[in-house]
């Protein structure tokens, strides 16, 4: 039986319904993203991880979020164009979500529960918080915005 985390429905940036299980990945890297953030250049590192490890089973998934400093004001079409034009993003992107509060997307509610932040904090503090999901959903690790994508290579390799 699949882990319920992998069955949570998500809407892609072009409006299709997908669950994490649909990607048949050995490891998934879920990131809440924003186009006008100091961490936005991390798109380049995320794309590099995707390019380097996708053939071995990694899928990087970007979830735009406008919840921190109004740093993702565009609509889905603008976000997709920005990511492709400025960072060559080819990994899957999703529709904008909320990651905190009463209307947080169920995926992020589940991720925060399984991998709390520092001192057990459940809230996501900022854009580009990363969750590495492996072992068919049994392993979830959380990394802060300050952790550059390239610093995750060894953790990713351990799950591929």
Percent helix, strand, coil in the chain, to 5, is 40, 20, 40
Set 10, 37, 65, 83: catalytic member: 37
Q: Would you state the structure tokens that stand for residue 72, as one six-digit string?
A: 């993702």
83 classed as catalytic: no
The secondary element (H helix, E strand) that includes residue 156 is helix 153-159
Write down the pLDDT at residue 118: 77
Write down the pLDDT at residue 1: 61
Write down the pLDDT at residue 9: 96
Strands 10-11 and 58-64: unpaired
Cα gap 59→43, rounded to integer Å:
14
Q: Residue 104: how many CB atoms within 10 A of its CB?
A: 20
Which residues of the chain are modeled with pLDDT < 50? Answer: none
Strands 58-64 and 139-143: unpaired
Write down the pLDDT at residue 117: 84
């Amino acid at each position: 039986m699949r882990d319920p985390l992998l069955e949570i429905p998500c809407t892609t940036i072009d409006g299709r319904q997908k669950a994490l299980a649909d990607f048949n990945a050995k490891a998934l890297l879920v990131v809440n993203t924003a186009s006008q953030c100091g961490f936005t250049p991390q798109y380049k590192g995320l794309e590099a991880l995707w390019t380097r490890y996708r053939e071995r089973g990694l899928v990087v998934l970007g979830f735009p979020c406008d919840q921190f400093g109004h740093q993702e004001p565009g609509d889905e079409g603008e976000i997709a164009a920005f990511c492709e034009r400025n960072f060559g993003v080819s990994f899957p992107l999703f529709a904008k979500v909320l990651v905190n509060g009463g209307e947080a997307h169920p995926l992020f509610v589940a991720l925060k529960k399984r991998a709390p932040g520092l001192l057990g904090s459940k809230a996501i503090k900022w854009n580009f918080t990363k969750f590495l999901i492996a072992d068919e959903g049994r392993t979830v690790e959380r990394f802060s915005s300050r952790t550059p994508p390239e610093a995750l290579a060894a953790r990713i390799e351990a799950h591929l």
